[in-house]
Structure 1
Amino acid sequence: MGQLSERSAGTAWEHLRRLPVWLPPALLTLAVTLTGLGSAQLWRDELATWSAATRSPGDLARLAGTIDAATGPYYLLMHGWTTVFGDSTIALRAPAVLAMTVAAGLLAGLGARLVDRRGGLFAGLLFAVLPGTSRYGQEARPYALATMLAVLATVLLVTALRRPSWARWAGYAAAVVALGLIHLIALTLLAAHALVVLIAWWRGPAAAGVATRDHPSAERDRRVWRWLVAVVPVALLAGPLLVKARTQQSRQLNWVNLARLDDLTALPGGVAQSSVVGGLLVGVAALGAARLGRRALLPVSAVL
């Protein structure tokens, strides 16, 4: 019986190895987020999305100018979506389902690039079963889209650092601009990207943990200004939005306490929607980072 179990496990792993690394996590995430998608009624913030998405572009412009500039681009996107697909509960939540599905596949691909295929597959499958994945994947709010764009921008950064070209940096720039327009606070990810770019420029891709396993000694590219050029559109497009949103803080977030340093202790549990799961994630991440060494620089700094 033991030999049969081992043989079955080996056969299952061989079947998994034949599939693209992104496919199992994406399919599992799709199944998780589709389960019971329309069973719960829209809650307060989702009703705000429905209200904004069903308004005219002119009304949305006035809304952004007076109350909610930070979420304006997301509402405009959802306006276009509901115009095509309707404003039912499932239609409103469908973009979040698709975004988390794509995020899981991209995460698996990123893990395979930075570590190996097994590591990428594990990361994608773990992401698929996290409580936060089903939560944000079933919510008509911008968080799932921000998650997808953050992972996409990181994947494109690794690609551009390995094989620099204007086309790859342009793709990275587009992803970062979209990330900033969807969720301004998500632009804090640029601090992690800047760190990796600086180390890659100073000591090469291997020192930054983004060199391929086949070419660990890839030459460093001193054209770090390409990254600076890539983030210029972010400043031009998201900058005015940030300034406008800052003036609306008292109307939008006056009921939310300012973050303090000791709030970080509750952050893993908040992200994972479970303090136990959040604590386990921190433990697994710490063990993985210790084992990966330099290759952990990008994912760890991105998380921070």
Structure 2
Amino acid sequence: MSIIAIVLVVFSALLHAGWNVLGKSGSGSGYSFALVASLTPFILLSPYLVWCLSVIGITNITADFLWLLVFSCIGQAIYLVSVIKAYDHGDVGMMYPIVRALPVLMVGIGTLIVGQALSGNAWLGFSILTIGCLLVPLTTLRELKLSAYANIGVLWAVIAAMGTTLYSILDKEALNWLVLETSGLSSQQIAIFYLGMQFLGTSSVLLCWLILTNNKSEIVNAKRHWKGSSIAGIMMGLTYGIVLYSMTLVENVSYIVALRQVSIVFGLALGITVLNERWFLVRGLGVSLVVTGLVVALV
């Protein structure tokens, strides 16, 4: 990975941890938070999307791209709702590392399926990083057993990780399609265009689901708690916009997903300082393994 990509992803990780803390501290539910947080960036980017479509040409957007976008948005919607549901049942310091850890190996396996190879160092680093992430939620090493993770919060965290895996792989493929099959936009412009399209799709998926399930109370709830969710949405847009651009600078998206795990360090620090969550020595060990895993994978 280039130095530029590394710096961008680390900065995005700080923003990512920040909006997760906002999501935990907010009073809205998972659905209402996710709806407003995804709708806000789309509204702000809508004039830009119109301009991009005029440059690319709507007729040049084929079904291949649209299917990638649709399933990516479903993955993003699953992630957004599940991560807030996970926080309803546990501390950010406990749930956030699990949400971030599992996609590292999942995406690595997924990229193998689509024909992208990883080095031995990468797999070793990813494994160390994942172990570190799974240690961070514990209060003592004696809790390192399956029963410590057998709760509803962890289940939601696992579902969120699956959503992350899905959209991470598909987003890279969608960006590749835009770069290869369209003309008139730079890599940076393509990344922002795709970001806006993804938020359009994600908010549409969430809204359709709420309407189909006759869950109008969540829409009302979204109106009540729109301020905090909107701020989180703007931070989320900045975060993933940077990540999408970084994806255009690397061949294998697994390295981006792995480096984003530095957000665990930020998330733990913010959980302690902002949300007054407790610090344990085993969490320090977990953070050390996360950093070690990143160094092994990327050097």
TM-score with structure 2 setting the length: 0.31
User: Would you tell me which structure has more helix in proportion to its own residues?
Assistant: 2
> Greater relative contact order (Cα 8 A, min sep 6): structure 1 or 2?
2
